[in-house]
Amino acid sequence: MTPEIAVLDPQTASEADLLALYELEGLLHEESTPDDPRPSAPNFIASQRADRGEHHRILLLARGDDRLDGAAWIFWSKGDDNRHLARVYVLVHPDRRRRGVGTALLGRAAAIASEDGRVRLQGWTNSRQPAGEEFCRAVGAVEASVLRESRLDLGKLDRDLLRRWLDEPHPGYELVFIELPTPPELLAATAAIVEVMNTAPRDDLDEEDFKFTPDMLVKGEQALLAGGHRGWRYLAREQATGAIVGYTQVMWNTDDPSLVGQGDTAVQPEHRGHKLGKWMKAAMLEKLLAEVPQARSVVTGNAESNDAMLGINVALGFEPAASEGVWQVETEAVVRYTSRQSARPLE
């Protein structure tokens, strides 16, 4: 029997449903990263209800008798880029695995994607939960990229190396610090520099260049702050022109700042070779050490093919912690697979 799936807008979902989702996420968090901090329930709910700006999001819930058996998000760009693509993230309660819950959620997500003309799905797996890889292969998905999750123990950070990177001259450039939200006078330039991530390695991912607007930046930052996060960004600016040519960013949850997330770091191709990436990351780490004493470690993710950024991170002392696969599959292949599986009795 196929589980009943509720299709919701996360911005208007009931508090009871979002609390149940919070509890489900907590169980999986305990399985994979029990030592990492979690946001409070109010911050989690606020984050789910926030407008994410660049993404249209749909929440799917497989409700059990007294809990959630599983959940999934399906989301895609609101813009004109990547009109062929939808992304799916599936969670299943540990007690309900191999009972058809994940298949039912994925099938409903694929049907929704197909209705909107999304012909390809992307999803993620983590090496800490290897059952996800088995599931992806079963539906016919192919691993198109592998990401390395790396962690830096701030207590072991080489301060002398940090100082050398900071003291090295960078003639013609300066750093600009921003605490989120981005001030109005820097919105356009900051949104524009985010698009430099289109130059990052994509491996075999079927993705087009994305577009990023100031409105997307504003709404994304509002969602981050609504969920109880703080965020910092360093911009690299060319002094002669005033052009923003690179950036790096970090964020952490104010409920527990012990774990800091290192987001994107990127430099415009024509300004590479000046060690701006090292400079920005060193400046950010120095600021964290000075102003967020509760921070104990930094986590980041990079494509295994991104030799340049991995080289910087390894030099700083980041160590591999897990790997993440990015999988893709034709939407109609998933529809066919899940339709066949739904006709089979649950074990």
* 5-148+325-342: in CATH 3.40.630.30: yes
pLDDT in tens, 165-208: 999 999 999 999 999 999 999 999 999 999 999 999 999 999 99
Using DSSP, state whether 345 is helix, strand or coil: coil
Residue 152's beta-bridge partner residues?
298
CB count within 10 Å of CB 304 equals: 15
Domain ranges in the chain with CATH number 3.40.630.30: 5-148+325-342, 150-324
In this prediction, residue 346 carries a pLDDT of: 47
CATH code of the region 150-324: 3.40.630.30
| Mean predicted confidence (pLDDT) in 29-51 | 94
| Mean predicted confidence (pLDDT) in 139-165 | 97
Supply the angle between the helices 159-167 and 307-316 in degrees, to the nearest 10: 130
Residues whose CB falls within 8 Å of the CB of residue 329, separated by 6 or more in sequence, listed in order: 120, 121, 136, 139, 140, 141, 142
Rg (CA), the chain: 21
Percent of the chain with pLDDT over 90: 90
Q: Tokens in use for 320?
A: 């591999």
Q: Dihedral angle at the C-alpha atoms of 198, 201, 207, 211, nearest 10 degrees?
A: -10
pLDDT at 262 over 70: yes
In this prediction, residue 182 carries a pLDDT of: 98
Q: Tokens in use for 30?
A: 């305990």
| Tokens 């999001």, located at residue | 57
Using DSSP, state whether 124 is helix, strand or coil: strand
* Nearest alpha carbon to residue 88 among 63, 67, 57: 57
CB count within 10 Å of CB 325 equals: 19
pLDDT at 321 over 60: yes
The Cα 228–Cα 172 span in angstroms is 37
Binned at pLDDT 50, 70 and 90, residue 341 comes out as confident
| Mean predicted confidence (pLDDT) in 259-282 | 97
In this prediction, residue 4 carries a pLDDT of: 87
More confident residue, 143 or 130: 143
pLDDT at 347 over 70: no
pLDDT at 297 over 50: yes
pLDDT at 343 over 50: yes
The Cα 150–Cα 201 span in angstroms is 17
More confident residue, 1 or 279: 279
DSSP of 142-160, one letter per residue? EEEEEEEEEEEEGGG--HH
pLDDT at 55 over 90: no
Element holding 55 (H helix, E strand): strand 55-63
| Tokens 């921070």, located at residue | 295
Question: Residue 160 class from Cβ within 10 Å (0-12 exposed, 13-18 middle, 19+ buried)?
Answer: exposed
Element holding 31 (H helix, E strand): helix 15-32
Percent of the chain with pLDDT over 70: 98
Q: How far is CA 20 from CA 63, 67, 107, 336, in A?
A: 9, 7, 22, 30
